[in-house]
Structure 1
Amino acid sequence: MCNPRRVLVQVNRAVDEAWQRLVTEQATASTEIRDHGRFTVDVALDTMMGNRALTVLERCLAGEFPEVQGWSRGDDGVYRQRVGAVTLCYRAGDSRMTVEAGMTELVSVEAQAEVEASGIVLGEVAAEAVCSYFDDGWGGYTEDRAREQARADADRRLASALDSLRREQQGQHIEAAVAQARSDAQAQADARLREQHDHLRAALRRRLQASLADAQDAVRHAINRLVGEVYRQTLIEIARQGGGRVVSDQRDGAVMELEIEL
């Protein structure tokens, strides 16, 4: 084995190549659609028993009587009770109840857009590599082998330099194409959402109306039970204030039997 020697390989390439790339971007447009419906139910307590019955009704809703589950009262003074998918509402002193229902749906629409980016990469790239060998070929490190290895290393470095040149010169064009594709996709998604908005709102309104219709039996049942309890408590109160007494007070499910002696 003698002193090692080195072989240097230099490579270069003039670059003049056209390029094009198709850029694809997606976008989403979302909105929240809300709808609200209501109908009123007359509660004829005041016409049959006067304002006393309405006062007892409010006391029932406030949870004063253990036989009736109290309703929640908001800051607006309105009593509310959930009945299935709807809400029963009562404002103190009124002779009617309002049945309300609301629906909210989050709608999302996607769109995709393509923009072509193109240009020409111009420039020159160069690379070099060094590899050692021995005159006597010790360990298999011959000049031919060293030159082959150095050439391979230089070619890899040249390819890397070429990729860097391409990225540098293509980058701005691709970024602009990405921004344009993203903007186009968003515009398409927004337009599709606007086109579908009225249709989606109409579909939501139909579901809301169906929900209100389906709830009528449950609402009627809840109001009848409440009104029956108001009658019961009002009659008991009238009897006691007049010196009478309750002889019998029984209930079987939704049926109440009240016997009063005046």
Structure 2
Amino acid sequence: MDRSSLKKLLTDVRDGRTSVEEAFAKIRHLPYEDIGAAKIDHHRALRRGFPEVIFCQGKTPEQALAAFRELAGHNGRVLATRVSPETASLIKTELPEAQYRPEARILFLSRTEIKPRWGRIAVLSAGTSDLPVAEEAALTAELLENEVSRIYDVGVAGIHRLFSHLEELERARVLIVVAGMEGALPGVVAGLTDRPVIAVPTSTGYGASFGGLSALLTMLNTCSPGVGVVNIDNGFGAAVLAHLITRSGDEKP
């Protein structure tokens, strides 16, 4: 249940096309449904513009399936992140129309065509090892109906690789920059453009990177202004923030 469907339902009740009883049956699970292991927030799309997203890491495949099934019964689009192949296989057994993207560890279902209608987001990665997080961000942004460009393997060890993409950076409204190791790429990118930069540290790196803490601290301490930092490996959170920035100032759907 999103804003547009709720408005249509209320209009149909007002105009006599839908009875009060029929409308009540459609909204009786608001604001949430208790399915035992989880309380599914069916109000989320009304508040945030997109249904609740399932974080599968730490959930059993059966728990993830129960949540996915419940959301799919009330929404035309469902997104699950950090999905293992085992969990994806179980969900697709019941919902074969769901699509799995192992490179992003994302499983999604969309009963409507995914068409870009918000601003362009560019997703940059420092190295190939950062691709799982970068793809999580890129695919999430696409599912949120943003136009997305991918600029991968342009880290500071070969900074000349970045310079051929400067015009592409200027065409984006927001930049998501994903980097592990020392995490220097977001600060460099922010010094080359006036676009807001969302920095994503990854857990990629040798022992002294402390599972991404070194990159996180570098990004927090960058001297380039206009950089916001999300948690380690949180490509999903970066994509949602970038999406909200592209929607700012526009009429809500």
Q: What range describes the TM-score normalised by the shorter chain of this pair? A: under 0.3
Answer with 1 or 2: which has the greater Rg.
1
Q: TM-score, normalised by structure 2?
A: 0.19
Q: With CA pairs under 8 Å and 6+ residues apart, which has the higher RCO, 1 or 2?
A: 1
